[in-house]
Chains A and B, each alone.
Chain A
């Protein structure tokens, strides 16, 4: 399982990398939204984890651009991972096409649960075990 994490804070990236390691998933990291979008265009991912507050392009814009793609990469499952606690944040993200929103500090179980759930739901006929 190949997961892309777009997040500017290296500590957060390391935490999630180690968590995904527990579940045997490999992680590719991108420190900026622009870099993340480039990687999405270059290789297929099973899932994208996305931070919201980043220098330069923010997560909202990155999400818009991902969903604006007309190829398969445009439908990649996206989970927003954020420390932001604005009241309508979840709605905004879901409205932009995110599949789920997780709040920092990340609960490992919640992360695995969300990943599994979303992959299972979105997998459709292509879902493999």
Chain B
């Protein structure tokens, strides 16, 4: 609701200034109503003066006041003290007082004017005007019942005088009272009736359409609201009034936004802002700014939205804004909350809460007053109707008697009804109060929730961002240590030192990963992706990493997977993470003895147990060690290092996988951490055809090749043909492996062998002898085209097609027992 006080009259803190606007407009609208005053007679010179004063009053109320007092004196002299013109002058004085901000002084002349006009026949529209002015004063003073009575009285006068415009204005005023009481249905009815009664007066029509549009928007009837605003806009344009236009454009934009017409809303609000800026109307501009900011957020232009909403509230104290600013705060909150500026959003939410309370109070008192006014009004009607009935039916004597008894009965009924009304009013007020309390509590709760969620999110974001930021320099540290360690020419001491840097960097990376996992845990983002997993291979893989370290420390390391199901459904990455963590802990806290890793099944549960003969855990710390950042005691941190995150993450992961981590420990003797998971066995795919069987997983191949990328390529390419690809660093290792059996082929990179072997030809012969005939393939670089192959091996010049290489190593042989002759050269 775009609400504004009249630019001329001072603003009232209760924010009912829009009524002032209506009055201003009412005064303007009075302009052409000449015959209101002088009825059947010819216009006297006093009538002309009245017109002049009324006009002057708009521009200069002080002068208007003086002139109207002078006019009254003149009229009293000419027509007597209880004349029409005297009353009219008094009314003008009251108007002048109001416009000078002296509402208190307006009451007496107004009362006198009304008193006079009431007695005059025939009735004139000016009586209606005066009643409406008094109604306005009452409404401003929050005396809604009185205001309603006056407006209704005014309406009745206008009906008698046939003044349709006056009727429309009275209906407008009544509608606005209902709107203030949040009774939108009634407000709508009255506005509609007003428009139906008289729509020939542009300013009045604009006001009616604008007000009705606002009520319709409040009732979420956006289509009808848009129609009203469009009509109002056309009228306002014809009247050439930029401030109205800007305000109506604002209301229109609001309704368009509610109706989902984002682009139209943007066009309207920006147009409105342009006009308001040109017309130098700061208040309208600020309201439009907040609305525009809201629309900008809808369109994703958050920077613009922020700028707009910052401008709108520049140098405004949020704690003292009036009720009229409610919508602005609502919009500002939505914008700041949307762009993540929690502090400002909260400030506006508080202001909104304060104003909502105020508005509810105003609405409640208005509603209560309206309800009691309605009862009063109905009582009066009832009384009048009954008195009339009695007069018709009885003689004077009987009438007096029965009237008296009727009146008594009536008073009782009225009293009872009045009591009911009061009780209802109390009920309404109490209900409203408790609803307000709940609403306030909810708002407070919501605000606290918002703040809390924001804080948690901020913490998670901080953890995630920090871990991200640390990874980049770690990339430099660990990247280069890896490169340096890969240099075989590195001096021993340097190698040791770089090894230390590398380990430290690795520890840091583990820490960063753990922190990130904790952040994900807290944000609920820890994900698991169950797939069919080769359980034994996965666990063996992890174990291999730790076996060496354990053996380096002189600890025994046993892996028992005999009872393990081969394929289960679980997340292999997370499983690896948990088992690795448990092994790391076991290793860390065990000085002598050994570590055992056992996989077993218990009913429908899968159990992976890591046992150690280490320091154990004190009984009272058994739960605490699973908390993040807890270890059994701080001395363990100093002696054994670590962050205390590992077990917390493990437990969370275990739970995410549908299980848990169990601990069985004896302090000083050792511990067994058991990962307990639901067991879901995945059968191997039913049938592979015979050919596939024959091709996959048979035997092993030994490869001498030092280039790591080439190794990876070969591993991938050979994966389908053999069950093992063994990379040997030199011929000795290769021959060793071949001696263990099951090797069906050998692939040798000549360059690699030359770099490590003192007797290349000898090695090649031995290798060729060790593998099946013709299955020792040697790759030579292109510049070796003239080399003679060593017997029994197949020589190939690089580059060679992968397919051909596979064929040579694994494909069907041609049945020859002699080694193939000469060099075989294959091109791309």
Contact = CB atoms under 8 A, between A and B. Distances in A.
B468 A83 contact: yes
Given A128-B828, A129-B805, A107 B482 contact: yes
B466 to A, nearest CB: 11
Nearest to B520: A87
A98 to B, nearest CB: 18
A72 interface: no
Contacts of B714: 116, 120, 129
A18 interface: yes
Among B467, B476, B505, B779, chain A packs the most CB atoms within 10 A around the CB of B476
A87 B713 contact: no
Contact of B799 (A18, A104, A115, A128): A128
Given A85-B464, A108-B482, A109-B708, A116 B715 contact: yes
A118 to B, nearest CB: 8
Nearest to A12: B475
A64 interface: no
Nearest to B803: A125
Contact of B479 (A19, A83, A84, A114): A19
A38 interface: no
Main secondary structure of the interface of A (DSSP, over half): helix
A121 B471 contact: no
A114 B709 CA distance: 8
Contacts of A107: 478, 482
A57 interface: no
Contact of A123 (B474, B486, B802): B802
B713 A116 contact: yes
A108 B479 contact: yes
Contact of B801 (A114, A117, A128): A128
Interface string A75-106: 00000000111010000000000000001111
B472 A112 contact: no
Given A15-B483, A128-B800, A116 B474 contact: no
Contacts of B715: 116-117
A113 B712 contact: yes
B221 interface: no
Contacts of B468: 83-85
B420 to A, nearest CB: 63
Interface in A57-82: none
B635 interface: no
B652 to A, nearest CB: 14
Contacts of A87: 520, 525, 527
Main secondary structure of the interface of B (DSSP, over half): helix
B827 to A, nearest CB: 10
B479 A15 contact: yes
Interface string A23-58: 111000000000000000000000000000000000
Given A125-B803, A127-B802, A116 B476 contact: no
A18 B475 CA distance: 13
B807 interface: no
Chain A residues touching B, range: 35 or more
Contact of A83 (B472, B710, B828): B472
A115 B520 CA distance: 30
Nearest to B465: A85
Contacts of B477: 105
B474 A18 contact: no
Contacts of B802: 120, 123, 125, 127-129
B480 interface: yes
Interface in B784-823: 798-803, 805
B471 A23 contact: no
Among A87, A105, A120, A121, chain B packs the most CB atoms within 10 A around the CB of A105
B411 interface: no
Among B474, B486, B828, chain A packs the most CB atoms within 10 A around the CB of B486
Interface string A9-26: 101100110110111110
17 contacts: A15-B475, A21-B483, A85-B467, A105-B471, A107-B478, A108-B479, A109-B708, A112-B709, A112-B712, A116-B714, A119-B709, A126-B828, A127-B801, A127-B803, A128-B801, A128-B802, A129-B779
Which 6 interchain pairs have the tightest Cβ spacing? A116-B712, A15-B479, A120-B716, A127-B802, A112-B708, A128-B799
